[in-house]
Amino acid sequence: MSRARITLDRDFTIGEVPRRLFGSFVEHMGRCVYTGIYEPGHPEADQNGFRQDVLKLVKELGATVIRYPGGNFVSGYNWEDGIGPRENRPRRLDGAWHTVETNAFGLHEFVDWSKQAGTEIMEAINLGTRGVDAAREIVEYANHPGGTYWSDLRAKNGHKDPFNIKLWCLGNEMDGPWQIGHKTADEYGRLAQEAAKAMRFVDPSLELVACGSSNSGMPTFGAWEQTVLTHTYDEVDYVSLHAYYQEHDGDVGSFLASAVDTDYFIESVIATADAVRAKGKHKKHINLSFDEWNVWYQRGLDTEDQPHNVIKAGWREHPRVIEDKYNVTDAVVVGTLLNSLLRHGDRVKIANQAQLVNVIAPILSEENGPAWKQTIFHPFARMAELAKGQILRLSVDSDKYSNSRFGDTDLVDVSATWNEETGRVALFFANRGLEEAADVEVALRGFDARQVLRAEVLEIPEGGDRLTINTQDQPGRVGLTALEGVKATGSELRLTLPALSWAVVELDVVKG
């Protein structure tokens, strides 16, 4: 059995838990929108065509803010195509995913859906094929009270009151050669700066996100952030990060250590942003928006069943695209990625798991059929529910294992929060060990534990293995079950984590 000793202290905190850390992402890609959140005629659809079975799961997931409508899709998207009577909306070719976009679902529908879901909107604008005019016009349409062309058109289209969308992305992955309208850092930085200024002329209260690197392996990583922020520092509030992880060639050890890369990525962007701040003698800090992250198996994508940029079968409406089926191992990795985000919550203020339904998603649905939870649903939902109050700064002394990409890595990964208002401490654990359980001791400095309120674990189910998934026929095969043997007495917590598992323990505490 491996061992880990963790120390937390009531007086050593990182900052308040950002509620936007538990965001998700809806893109016009594959079946995320059509037959995902929106399917008129489905037995569970309401009068707006919104699937209520999916909405119920979205609410249980606890997503707080949803990024929309892309993603690569947005870089070729005319937002005006998705407003007004549906019968007048144009059908367009979407070059990003090689599909036909019907525009049956657009801005008004997403605003109405978000109200039902209880989620904030994070709207992305097209800085690929569009520019300053389109940027300021969509803000006027969405947020201006009335008395102008665009705001009056919104009222005519059924929404007299403004949408009051405050969070906006200035394009998407503009550093990527795959992006429609790809730009150099200087080209994008100047365009984003001018678009931001024009948008704020319409609504000064906006929060704006500049495009950072598409991943930490980009050849321009670091230099891109430096150049873009040199142009935009005074105009934006956040810089974005995107990262996807997968198991390569059976190297499960490196895959389980993916959060080491997330830590590196976050800390590198913070360092770059702060260097621009110092050089420019700026007073404010630029925070981070990790607005795309997840496990994504980007192999075999150029086939009819798993397309990437080209669908060889031709132009179609909402085909099945990257509908990854997530297993126990994936869920443990997602848990560690969430831990990394939470541990950096002093600077990562927004994060969006990509995507919400069907497309590399925690929720799967079938056309005219059911919706169910993937394995990765569970760590996200519990952390969104319980991670509140202050993020605790932890000291972790864990046994390690060696992997080819990251070297020696902690077997036990952990994050924790303290909610002074409710008197609860929540700890989120992952055991990366494939074979051995982990004996964990937690020293609770400044706290006395009164009782264990909750102890749950996601592990390999009986008769399964690390690749076990949830299916339409067995939607509850992998989930959270009671974690037995958790003991909290005074200032000490003891528990045993099964091999390859993710767990949550919630304690009722008083100040010691």
Q: Which of the residues are catalytic?
A: 173, 292
The b-or-e profile of 153-189 (16+ CB within 10 A means b, else e) is ebeeeebeebbebbbbbbbbbbbbeebbbebebeebb
Phi/psi class of residue 281: alpha, beta or left (left: φ > 0; alpha: ψ in -120 to 50)?
A: left
End-to-end CA separation in angstroms for the chain: 31
Cβ atoms of 131 and 191 within 8 Å: the answer is yes
CB-based contacts of 115, cutoff 8 Å, min separation 6:
none
Stated as kind and residue range, the H or E segment containing 385 is helix 377-386
Angle between helices 328-343 and 377-386 (to 10 degrees): 30
Residue 146's identity, in one-letter code, is: G
The b-or-e profile of 40-54 (16+ CB within 10 A means b, else e) is eebebbeeebbbebb
CB-based contacts of 379, cutoff 8 Å, min separation 6:
331, 334, 335, 338, 428, 458, 502, 504
CB-based contacts of 394, cutoff 8 Å, min separation 6:
6, 7, 8, 343, 414, 415, 416
Q: State the number of CA atoms in the 13 A half-sphere of 403 facing the CB.
A: 22
Please tell me whether the peptide bond between 355 and the residue prior to it is cis, using omega within 30 degrees of 0.
yes
Cβ atoms of 291 and 350 within 8 Å: the answer is yes
Kind of pairing between the strands at 167-170 and 207-210: parallel
CB-based contacts of 88, cutoff 8 Å, min separation 6:
none
Separation of alpha carbons 200 and 36, rounded Å: 34
Separation of alpha carbons 508 and 185, rounded Å: 50
CB-based contacts of 83, cutoff 8 Å, min separation 6:
89, 106, 107, 108, 141, 153, 154, 157
HEC-encoded secondary structure of 206-266: CEEEECCCCCCCCCCCCHHHHHHHHHHCCCCCEEEEEEEECCCCCCHHHHHCHHHHHHHHH
Q: Residue 265's Cα: distance from chain center in Å? A: 15
Unique residue bearing structure tokens 């050593």: 12
Angle between helices 185-202 and 132-143 (to 10 degrees): 30
